[in-house]
A and B are shown apart, each in its own frame.
Chain A
Amino acid sequence: MATFELYRRSTIGMCLTETLDEMVQNGTLSPELAIQVLVQFDKSMTEALETQVKSKVSIKGHLHTYRFCDNVWTFILQNALFKNEDSQETVGRVKIVACDSKLLTQ
Chain B
Amino acid sequence: MADQALEASQPVDLTKHPSGIVPTLQNIVSTVNLDCKLELKSIALQARNAEYNPKARLMFVIESLQRFAAVIMRIREPKTTALIFASGKMVCTGAKSEQQSKLAARKYARIIQKLGFPAKFKDFKIQNIVGSCDVKFPIRLEGLAYSHSAFSSYEPELFPGLIYRMKQPKIVLLIFVSGKIVLTGAKVRDETYTAFENIYPVLTEFRKNQQWYGSGSFSIGIGYTCPNPWIRNITNQYHCLYYFVFFHQL
Contacts and interface: CB of A to CB of B under 8 A. Distances in A.
A6 to B, nearest CB: 16
B53 A67 contact: no
Nearest to B74: A66
A98 to B, nearest CB: 13
A71 B51 contact: no
B38 to A, nearest CB: 14
Interface of A: 65-69, 71
14 contacts: A65-B48, A65-B49, A66-B48, A66-B49, A67-B45, A67-B48, A67-B50, A67-B51, A68-B52, A68-B53, A69-B50, A69-B51, A69-B52, A71-B53
B165 to A, nearest CB: 38
Consensus secondary structure, chain A interface = strand
Contacts, number: 23
Consensus secondary structure, chain B interface = mixed
Nearest to A66: B49
Contacts of B133: none
Nearest to A67: B50
A68 B48 contact: no
Would you list the 4 A-B pairs with minimal beta carbon distance, nearest first? A68-B51, A69-B44, A65-B48, A69-B52
Interface centre among A65, A66, A68, A71 (most CB of B within 10 A): A68
B41 interface: yes
